[in-house]
Structure 1
Amino acid sequence: MPTHQDEKAYYYILHVITGKEEQVCTKIQNCLCNQSFTPFTFKKNVSFKRGKEISEVTRIIFPGYVFIKSCIAEAAFLIIIMDFVRKTNDIFKLLNYGSYEKIAVNETEINFLLDLCNDNYCIEYSKGLIEGDRVKVIEGPLKGQESRILKINKQKKNAVITVFLVNEVRTITIGLDYITKAN
């Protein structure tokens, strides 16, 4: 699990051109070669069946968004990042809570996502059972988060959950494996 409680860290979100997330992360690392910035994208493991073969790939959970972990507070971060945003064509804007006075993601919102992830900001599969019309997650990042599950697709082995991010309710699909009926 990412160490998000060791030091005071701020998290910021850039809205970028979909498909350019990794390129923007690389540009941030190269241009702002400073240990105060750690750009990343939240990812998930997804399995799909093609013919008789099952493949597993990693996909971005929030296409079009790059997250930045930094120890720099909002005012100083804004000055540094806005200069970078103006020079880069791949970035639309820096997300905020209505004004540029509040640009860091709320701790409760980001901590929920970080708690779901491993050290590489990737959400692994959860394992669960269906008991009647209820879901019980027995292992994985969704354990104890059953109330956030909106829908389950047994064939695709995934669950749709709600996430709060920058004062918006968003839905994301993550892996929920080995769903079986409990007797």
Structure 2
Amino acid sequence: MNWYVIQVRSGHEREIADKCRFLISDEILKECFIPEYICKKKFRGEWHDVRNVLFRGYVFLISDHIDELFNELKKIPDFTKVIGKKKETIYPLKDGEVEFLKTFGKDDHIVDMSVGFIEGDRIHITEGPLQGREGLIAKIDRHKRIAYISVNIFNEETTAKVGLEIISKN
């Protein structure tokens, strides 16, 4: 099975994914999903887990029938384009990109919160998907409990937000 990515209007990812699941047969479309991440938001004086879209403006599709899938996608309103389409050839995500997404977001395609601490100018992640991947972290917003990570996906360097709780700073 190959993984493909379609570009849609930002903020319409869930709507387009639902239309794809409803309008495209299971024989053509194995899975349609939007990678998400869990972060903490404070409202009514308490912190709550909230799910957000990991890559805004993108919907992921898994299929072995790209020609049929591409024809079916033309029927979806607000569909923009397939990433990697060059002169009628559509390229799937690279194996390394797929492997990263599988391990980072697990089977449910949701990136859990990570937990860590800062010692001097080094970040140490003690649990969560960023553990062992501290090098991806470009910036941390401790107040919002967010890490900005830099990943190479869609054949370009992309910045994404993920949840990160820093429990101490020395």
TM-score normalised by structure 2 residue count: 0.90
Q: Give 3-state SS (helix, strand or coil) of 1:147's partner.
A: helix
Amino acid at match of 2:23: C
Q: Distance in 2 between matches of 1:59 and 1:83?
A: 29
- Which of 129, 142, 145 is matched with 1:154 structurally? 142
Residue in 2 that maps onto 1:91: 79
Percent same amino acid among aligned pairs? 29
CA-based RMSD of the aligned residues comes to 1.8
- CA displacement at 1:88 relative to structure 2: 1.9
Q: 8 Å contact 1:127–1:177 — kept in the other structure? A: yes
Given that 1:85 and 1:93 are in contact with CA atoms closer than 8 Å, whether structure 2 keeps it comes out as: no
- Identify unmatched segments of 5+ residues in structure 1: 1-8
Over 3 Å counting, the alpha-carbon distance change for 1:35 and 1:178 in structure 2 is farther
- Unaligned runs of 5+ residues in structure 2 are none
Count of matched residue positions in the alignment of Structure 1 and Structure 2: 169
Q: Map 1:8-87 onto structure 2 (within 5 A).
A: 9-37=1-29, 38-70=31-63, 72=64, 76-77=65-66, 79-87=67-75
Match of 2:161 in 1: 173
- Of 86, 111, 119, which aligns to 2:99? 111
Residue 87 of structure 1 aligns to a residue whose secondary structure is coil
Equivalent residue in structure 2 for 1:132, among 117, 120, 136: 120
What's the offset of the Cα at 1:102? Answer: 4.6
Q: Provide, for residues 134-179 of structure 1, a one-character-per-residue CA deviation record: whole Å limited to 9, x for no partner.
A: 0011111011111111111111112111111121100111111133
Tell me, yes or no, if the aligned pair for 1:44 and 1:124 is still in contact at 8 Å: yes
Higher relative strand content: 2
Kindly provide the CA deviation profile for residues 113-151 of structure 1, in whole angstroms up to 9, marking residues without a partner as x. 221113210000111111110001111101111111111
2:107 counterpart letter in structure 1: D
